Amino acid sequence: MPLSANPPVAADLMIHARWIAREAHALLEQHAVVVANGRIVDILPVHQARERYAPAETMELDEHLLIPGLINLHTHAAMSLLRGVADDMPLMQWLETRIWPLEAALLSPRFIAEGTELACAEMLKGGVTCFNDMYFFPDVAATAAANIGMRAVLGITVLEFPSAYASDAADYLDKGLAAREIWREHPLVRFCLAPHAPYSVSDASFERIQTLAAQLELPIHLHIHETADEIRRHLEEHGCRPLHRLDRLGLLGPQLIGVHAVHLLEDEIATLARNNCNIAHCPASNLKLGSGFAPIAELLEQGVNVGLGTDSAASNNRLDMLAETRLASLLAKGASGDARCLPAWQALDMATINSARALGMEAEIGSIAIGKRADLVAVRMDALELSPCFDPVSHLVYAAGREDVSHVWVEGRCRILDKMLLHSETSSLKSSARLWQNRISAYLKPDAD
């Protein structure tokens, strides 16, 4: 019986795209993605889709590549308000002389709310549909992300020293767990455990974190081996390298998301691989802070799952995941001396399905597949500077930019329409940023040197 003899099936949304970057590196042409109740229910040729479905809305994207929503595997979203306040400094000077003093003076629920909303808007406009955050007041950040309609994994940050948010490690954990309980049923919000780093978290705290991770099945998200100086200090204080200490404490495993991982020995790469750990690679931040070059080719060769993150706008200074894919690929080629290292599709994987896997969310997001959440991004490929286009995925990584992102959907709901941000007022975001700029400027003084 011909398809037209059957009544059309209702759907919420149908997206007709010139190209679709589907899972397993399959590039489809002139296909449609059909969405109902926030999930992808079908992927099929356009002519079949028109016969089979009666969507409430149809989007014709004749010159676009449709990709999975990008996932920022590591950031500190609210620090968007600190963009540019501590440039051209190495990590520990950056932290100790600028970032930590400013946080001590400024940190508040309002700072988190307005900084996170600003970051979410920037990320959405660049095709990021989900971010993994590590900062303070995660309950406030959850509200900001949910209000703008973005998927977020909020870190239950743990430090040994006090802040405006919590008094000690136990207080950080208790408050973070309470926030998680409040948000447990929200479809866009999840939580992870986020001990800051081995140099700022004690053995006792790490032991409690490991117990909670096992009990609650939560990822553990922390900075690791970011700088040579960090490792030197850790050797002086603990008599071993940070990764060895984490291994001894039982933190290594598929739940671990190690951020940066710049300075690794061969046996440490093997240890990460053996324990099925995940790495959040932040190439722009690593370069800007002078931290070094992460051994990405070696990690991939050993089978370590590597995702991509931006780090904060205070150390990058962009929350631009398309820029990170390009930089990651180029750095891997240059460092390895092999132009075949980290090709375009694999770089896109790092920004999508690899990051979803690190978060334990690969069954829900990270690729365009039937049954998954409809987190989707359309990138227009017909700009003058992108012409001609022979391979849209190669173009996405090596030629296109976030300015070419035209549409973004989260859970099937449009958040960016023809480059315009929906559900948030750009003018109010700019006004808020200007107010914070005036306040922060009062705390900034020229460096003594």
Beta bridge partners of 100: none
As a whole number of angstroms, the distance between CA 28 and CA 19 comes to 5
90-121 pLDDT, tens digit each:
888 999 999 999 999 999 999 999 999 999 99
Question: How far from the centroid of its chain's Cα atoms is residue 17's Cα?
Answer: 25
Decide which of 114 and 446 is more confident.
114
* Prediction pTM value: 0.97
As a whole number of angstroms, the distance between CA 16 and CA 65 comes to 10
Decide which of 301 and 427 is more confident.
301
Nearest CA to 146 out of 98, 178, 113 is that of: 113
Q: Please tell me whether residue 201 adopts helix, strand or coil conformation.
A: coil
Second-level CATH architecture of 70-358: Alpha-Beta Barrel (3.20)
Domain 3-67+370-418 fold = Urease, subunit C; domain 1 (2.30.40)
The 3-state secondary structure of 60-88, one letter per residue: EEEEEEEEECEEEEEECHHHHHHCCCCCC
Task: Give percent of the chain above pLDDT 90.
Answer: 94
Whole-number Cα distances in Å, 331 to 31, 225, 296 = 34, 18, 9
Q: Check residue 292 and give its pLDDT.
A: 96
As a whole number of angstroms, the distance between CA 192 and CA 170 comes to 16
**Domain segments of the chain as ranges:** 3-67+370-418, 70-358
Record the tokens describing residue 126, joined without a space.
Answer: 């660049």
Compute the average pLDDT of residues 79-84: 97
Residues contacting 434, CB < 8 A, separation 6+: none
Q: Check residue 91 and give its pLDDT.
A: 87
Decide which of 443 and 45 is more confident.
45
- Cα Rg, the chain, nearest whole Å: 22
140-149 pLDDT, tens digit each:
999 999 999 9
As a whole number of angstroms, the distance between CA 17 and CA 15 comes to 6
pLDDT at 4 over 60: no
At 110, which helix (H) or strand (E)? helix 109-125
| Average predicted confidence (pLDDT) for the chain | 96
Compute the average pLDDT of residues 11-33: 97
DSSP for 387-398 reads -S-S-HHHHHHH
342-382 pLDDT, tens digit each:
999 999 999 999 999 999 999 999 999 999 999 999 999 99
Taking the CA atoms of 181, 187, 193 and 195 in sequence, report the sign of the dihedral they define: negative
